[in-house]
Amino acid sequence: MKFSEQWLRQYVNPDWSTQELADALTMAGLEVESLESLAPAFSQVVVARIERVEAHPNADRLRVCHVDVGQADLAQIVCGAPNAAAGIMVACALPGAELPGGLQIKPVTMRGVQSAGMLCSAKELGLSQDHQGLMLLEEGLPLGQNLREALRLDDQQFLLKLTPNRPDCLGVRGIAREVAALSGASLAPRPVIEVQAEIADRLPVRIEAPDLCGRFCGRVIRGVNPKAQTPKWMKDRLERAGQRSISALVDISNYVMLELSRPTHVFDLDRIKGGLNVRWARRGERLKLLNGQTIELDEQVGVIADDQAIESLAGIMGGDATAVSDDTSNIYVEAAFWWPQAIAGRARRYNFSTDAGHRFERGVDAHTTASELDYLCALILEICGGQAGPLDDQVIALPERKPVQMRLERARKVSGIDLSPEEISTAFTRLGIGFRWLGCAEGIERAQDEVIEVEPPSYRFDLHIEEDLIEEVVRLWGFDRLPQRPPKASTLMREAPEASRSLLQVKTLIAARGYQEVINYSFVSSALDESVSGEKGIALLNPIASQLDVMRTSLVTGLIDSLRFNLNRKAERVRIFECGRVFHKQADAEADLLEVAGIRQPIKLALLAYGARYAEHWSDSKRLVDFFDLKGDLESVIGTDRFQCRKWVDSEKLPPCLHPKQSAVIEVAGKHAGWIGVLHPQLQQSLELSSAPVLAELAIWALTDKLMPSPAAPSKFPPVVRDLAFVVSQALASEELAAGLKRLGGTRLVNLTLFDEYRGKGLKDNEKSLAFRLRFQDTERTLEESEVQGLLQQMIEGMQSACDARLRS
């Protein structure tokens, strides 16, 4: 809401400076978003008139003007403006004047002719960008008067950032009402105007949709002059509120809207066929609006129609067919109360918004519809002339405003202020809101549980519950006066679980490995997401962008987008991770996921490493990151005792984004947790990546769960170390052989290490030799050789039967 300070002070003029006024409005909840001077600083610029113009003797493009600046003698000023002519009123900067930008005006000689001043354009005064000629002033201004006084340029433009619950402040008078309540200054009374009917003409109006329109007022005015000039005071107020002058009839309607927050509409009466009908539109009907846009309507949009066509989009914008023009002589003026729920969102369906729709969808006072239409008609008759018909006022249904009660003790508790009944009564009195105290018949001294009952005014749509009333009292009391007290609450010292990590601890550990956290949209491209996970994502009904059309099924999709974003900005080494939810249609049950309408939303963590293994350094070989680098990072976070990678089995679905020979399943504590691998070459090529990034995605529990430490005393007895080398098939994984040896070795096998793998001479082409070092130890006694040999023989025989392994000779 934009308005000028001078306009506001016509209704209420508190003893505040401009800045104090802006601060008071902001602290009362009407945020002043900007405060701008109407004109930049300049001095000694006066109203003048050019009396005669002569050609310059030494310059073709210059002229010598003799100017009346309100002094005894005419001032001689050399001017090059193309519109300089005798008889025009202009702005003249006298010698000694200072213009915007620091320009000093002094008497000078121009091509041999003395010039005592400067005739100014609007651009030179900082009033507009027009520099085509001199700034022309209206006739009748006193010659020699200071231009700032003559044009009332010492004004400020306020721009309020209003919240949706305060539509009553979308008019200057509503803001004035607030200022009067805040300051205690008197509010100029609203003029009571009754337009006397001089003709009996009426336009029949039928209300078919009571859920669209609650009250409809209209009046016929004949014989108006559409070419009448809008008064300068009205033009100035409109322009300083951000509205350009169009024509007298349109300007008057806009002025009433800005002053009273009352949108109205003026129809060309002669273009209306028959009567008007207020109804919901029918599917397929079309309307050409005042902005030139033709829209197709349906049953969700309210309209005003005549007997042949749609003439207006109810509460939003009029139609082009009945718009007033220079040929208009008879008009029909309309003001109505449209239900907010019937207007809300309708203009946005057609990708535009209007000041009228902005107000009606928030709420306009229904009880003042007739009186404000009279005010509009009075202005039209005064400026454009004409004869008015009787007022047609149809009241169908008005908003019901129920009384709201507020407990004194509750107000004190919520606000933190020891409010007195006098302060509460004063606040509602200054706001002009009716109230009465309940439970006490006399005096101002009331009990602690006293209750005040408030009758919300018809223009306040935001007073419904007790907290709304408390807010009003505190606003008037002063938000800036609220005491700053630290909160008081009992706290408990909670024990930190040792068997789990917090999400912050997990992120800190990963960041310590050189990764940076990213946060991506949960909306991703369906094509890329399906190429990553092989699963179709959940489609969005109304995506924020065409390429973000599904919910992600894998965090890797966002990481790949982030990688490409960084590579396009010349990044060479990227280490990123993200933690968040993914979304699946399947209904598998997991302990850490949130079920919503059959959609699984497990929390995952994904990592991506790309580029060189280490940051650039003279001692590094610049080797690219590989599978084992990312595996090592995860092992360091999860722990080598719990972390394990294994091959994919036939029953498991390999994500299509992974290289089939350079990927693995991640198991943590023996449970499936996720996957790790190198990006598939085909996807790498389609994404135009110079090298393949290494990716991993796993369930969050795999990182938050951790082993409890189990202390054990070291053995006092010496260990026994033996080496065994087995010849096995090359298809057998070393981890399978190691797991079997650990199982057969029992508790006395305290350590097992693979220290050699051999393929070549002495072995078949499909065989390999795996050599293990075994460490046996007992905590109670020294192991005898026979016991160790018995364990070794048990291992040899067990592996021979389980894996067809034989000792290497």
pLDDT, residue 808, reads: 87
User: Residue 427 pLDDT more than 80?
Assistant: yes
pLDDT in tens, 376-412: 999 999 999 999 999 999 999 999 889 999 999 999 9
Distance CA 802, CA 795 (A): 10
pLDDT, residue 596, reads: 56
User: Residue 441 pLDDT more than 60?
Assistant: no
Average pLDDT value for residue range 590-609: 75
What's the whole-number average pLDDT of the chain?
91
**CB neighbourhood size of 561 (10 A):** 18
**DSSP E strand stretches across 343-496:** 387-388, 392-395, 404-407, 434-438, 451-455
User: Residue 356 pLDDT more than 90?
Assistant: yes
User: Residue 446 pLDDT more than 70?
Assistant: no
pLDDT, residue 127, reads: 85
How many helices (H) and strands (E) are present in the chain, helices listed first?
21, 39
Average pLDDT value for residue range 556-584: 95
User: Residue 654 pLDDT more than 90?
Assistant: no
Q: What is the DSSP string of 511-543?
A: HHTT-EE----SEE-HHHHHHHHSSPPPBPSS-
pLDDT in tens, 739-771: 899 999 998 999 999 999 999 888 988 999 999
pLDDT in tens, 151-189: 999 899 999 999 999 999 999 999 999 999 999 999 999
**CB neighbourhood size of 744 (10 A):** 17
Residue burial 582-598, b: 16+ Cβ < 10 Å; e: rest? bbbeeeeeeeebeeeee
Residues 6+ apart with CB under 8 A from 583: 522, 537, 538, 551, 552, 553, 599, 600, 601
pLDDT, residue 449, reads: 60
In degrees and rounded to multiples of 5, residue 623 shows phi and psi of -70, 140
Average pLDDT value for residue range 554-564: 96
Q: Which residues pair with 675 in a beta bridge?
A: 665, 697
Residues 6+ apart with CB under 8 A from 764: none
pLDDT, residue 60, reads: 87
Distance CA 213, CA 442 (A): 44
pLDDT in tens, 21-47: 999 999 999 999 999 998 899 999 999
Distance CA 42, CA 27 (A): 32
Q: How far is CA 486 from CA 160, 416, 483, 733, in A?
A: 32, 12, 10, 63
pLDDT in tens, 705-747: 988 877 878 889 999 999 999 999 998 888 889 989 999 999 8
User: Residue 473 pLDDT more than 70?
Assistant: yes
Helix (H) or strand (E) holding 337: strand 330-338
User: Residue 442 pLDDT more than 50?
Assistant: no
Rounded to 10°, the helix 408-415/421-431 angle is 90
pLDDT in tens, 53-99: 999 999 988 999 999 999 999 999 999 999 999 999 999 999 999 99
The model's pTM is 0.68
Distance CA 460, CA 433 (A): 10
pLDDT, residue 269, reads: 95
pLDDT, residue 592, reads: 43
- Inter-residue contact 22 to 157 (CB < 8 Å): no
The more confidently predicted of residues 148 and 485 is 148
User: Residue 278 pLDDT more than 80?
Assistant: yes
pLDDT in tens, 181-204: 999 999 999 888 889 999 999 999
pLDDT, residue 709, reads: 78
Helix (H) or strand (E) holding 375: helix 369-384
pLDDT, residue 439, reads: 63
Distance from the Cα of residue 181 to its chain's centroid: 32
Q: Indicate the DSSP class of residue 803.
A: H
**DSSP E strand stretches across 379-457:** 387-388, 392-395, 404-407, 434-438, 451-455
* Max Cα-Cα span within the chain: 134
- Inter-residue contact 195 to 375 (CB < 8 Å): no
Work out the pLDDT band at 438, boundaries 50, 70, 90: confident
pLDDT, residue 587, reads: 53
Distance CA 482, CA 197 (A): 54
| 69-78, 359-368, 604-613, 703-712: least confidently modelled range | 703-712
3-class DSSP state of 255: helix
Share of the chain above pLDDT 70, in %: 97
276-280 and 205-207 beta bridge pairing: parallel
- Inter-residue contact 113 to 136 (CB < 8 Å): no
